[in-house]
């Protein structure tokens, strides 16, 4: 069969019936500006001045990047039809690999070490699921346990006797280069300090984008763009996605399904390992046991939130990173003020579901939940300290439940496939 016939056949496998227009890039820009405007109003009403500061936005980026990279790894794997619950284990191996390489050969080698650590986890998962047909969930859970145990053993074995190290942590790691556009950053800081409604908030976001950015953050942005282009604009990506939709039909059209699945899971491991490297090299500057803190699972949730597409995944990761930054940087008063923003978002989502999508149950549920959060805000003066740490998880969960619509995983995601089934 000709290449053109293969591409057309694969595209047919991947294209579900469309019931509405997909959001374009400028739609996302308008949504982001609308959210920033609401946050600006929130700052003016409540007096909580750290909600849209450049420091808060920069912290949000730092917290979102490892989650986004883990989710991007999951996207590659699941688009090829392999469920990857093992992202957490791959990230753990990446944190240790990055620390080991950075201690011995420098910060740049640490990036390679993180990728290699994640690749090892990806190789284990690929052999188990693609080669031997092990249940994907079982393999992923086992990989998480293996990654945790191996990292603990290797940490005690290689870091305990190093100066500044210990059985559960590495010595301090060398820094990666950071980028600051000096004149632009200083000018935006001046505008931010002027406290001009909405204008200062825009300046704060722009300043965070051009001040003290790690090279790994820039690399993550490039990887998101590259993933979108490769998977949705090339014949290679078309064939890979066809493996996740109908591997039998793909093989009958000449696609080497096993090879594509194997490559996708390896790429998944490399990206998750890079997310782990970010935690060791950038976020903390040191390796510690338990450093990932479940971010692999959160990345998986962000991928589902984004409907298995890079743009939605990035939005979900940023939402979690931002809410996490707010609760880490600010006191209970600012977290309390943020409740009003959550209420507004839930009501807006509910109205959108009712008016635009005609989903009455989901829309009314969001409006009722938003009203309850608003009552919580107006009847209290602060959020209990014990609850502030749960805010990122609760906020992300609520938005996931009420905003996500028409979620469609790849049709053959998680199915065990044997070579030759297409004949």
The model's pLDDT over 365-385, given as tens digits with 9 standing for 90+, comes to 889 999 999 999 999 888 877
Question: Tokens in use for 303?
Answer: 């991928």
Residue 204 and residue 51 in contact, taking contact as beta carbons nearer than 8 Å: no
Q: List C-alpha distances in Å: 260 to 70, 79, 256, 257, 303.
A: 20, 10, 6, 5, 20
Q: What is the CA radius of gyration of the chain?
A: 22
17 pLDDT band, cuts 50/70/90, is very low
The 10s digit of each residue's pLDDT in 373-418 is 999 999 988 887 777 777 777 877 777 777 666 678 999 999 988 8
Cross-strand partners of 288: 169
Cα 29 → chain centroid = 19
pTM score: 0.90
More confident residue, 333 or 46: 46
The structural domains of the chain, with segments of one domain joined by +, span 49-330, 331-408
Q: Does domain 49-330 have CATH number 1.10.760?
A: no
- What integer pLDDT is reported at residue 68 of this predicted model? 97
Question: By the 8 A CB rule, do 156 and 166 touch?
Answer: no
pLDDT tens-digit map of 115-171: 999 999 999 999 999 999 999 999 999 999 999 999 999 999 999 989 999 999 999
pLDDT level of residue 295 (50, 70, 90 thresholds)? very high
CA–CA separation, 53 vs 40, rounded Å?
10
Q: Averaged over 251-274, what is the pLDDT? A: 96
Lowest mean pLDDT among 144-148, 215-219, 351-355: 351-355
The predicted pLDDT at position 422 comes to 56
CB 13 within 8 A of CB 257: no
CA–CA separation, 134 and 164 (whole Å): 41
The residues with which 166 forms a beta bridge, in sequence order, are 169
CA angle 360, 316, 353 (to 5 degrees): 15
Share of the chain above pLDDT 90, in %: 61
């Amino acid at each position: 069969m000709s290449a053109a016939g293969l591409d057309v056949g694969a595209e047919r496998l991947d294209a579900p019936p469309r019931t509405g227009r997909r959001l374009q890039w400028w739609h996302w820009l308008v949504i982001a500006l609308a959210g920033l405007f609401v946050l600006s109003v929130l700052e003016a009403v409540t007096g909580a001045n750290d909600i849209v500061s450049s420091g808060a936005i920069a912290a949000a980026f730092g917290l979102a990047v490892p989650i986004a990279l883990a989710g991007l790894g999951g996207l590659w794997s699941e688009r090829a039809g392999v469920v990857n619950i093992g992202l957490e284990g791959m990230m753990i191996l990446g944190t240790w690999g990055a620390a080991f390489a950075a201690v011995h050969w420098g910060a740049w080698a640490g990036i390679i070490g993180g990728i290699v650590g994640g690749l090892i986890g990806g190789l284990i998962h690929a052999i188990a699921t693609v080669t031997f047909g092990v249940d994907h969930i079982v393999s992923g859970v086992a990989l998480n346990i293996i990654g945790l145990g191996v990292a603990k053993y290797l940490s005690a074995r290689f870091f305990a006797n190093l100066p500044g190290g210990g059985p559960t942590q590495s010595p301090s790691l060398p820094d990666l280069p950071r980028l600051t556009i000096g004149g632009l950053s200083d000018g935006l800081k001046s505008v931010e300090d002027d406290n001009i409604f909405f204008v200062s908030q825009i300046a704060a976001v722009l300043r965070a984008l051009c001040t003290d950015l790690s090279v790994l953050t820039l690399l993550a942005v490039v990887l998101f763009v590259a993933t979108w282009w490769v998977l949705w604009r090339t014949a290679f990506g078309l064939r890979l996605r066809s493996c996740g939709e109908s591997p039998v039909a793909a093989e009958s059209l000449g696609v080497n399904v096993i090879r594509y699945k194997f490559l996708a899971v390896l790429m998944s491991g490399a990206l998750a390992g890079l997310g782990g490297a970010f935690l060791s090299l950038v976020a903390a500057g040191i390796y510690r046991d338990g450093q990932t803190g479940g971010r692999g699972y959160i990345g998986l949730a962000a991928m589902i939130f984004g409907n298995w597409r890079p743009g939605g995944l990035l939005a979900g990761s940023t939402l979690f990173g931002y809410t996490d930054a707010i609760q880490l940087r600010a006191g209970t008063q600012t977290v309390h003020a943020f409740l009003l923003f959550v209420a507004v978002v839930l009501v807006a989502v509910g109205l959108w579901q009712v008016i635009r999508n005609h989903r009455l149950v989901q829309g009314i549920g969001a409006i009722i939940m938003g009203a309850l959060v608003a009552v919580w805000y107006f009847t209290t003066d602060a959020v209990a300290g014990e609850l502030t740490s749960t805010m990122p998880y609760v906020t992300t969960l609520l938005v996931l439940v009420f905003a996500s619509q028409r979620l469609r995983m790849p049709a053959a995601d998680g199915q065990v496939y044997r070579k030759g089934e297409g004949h």
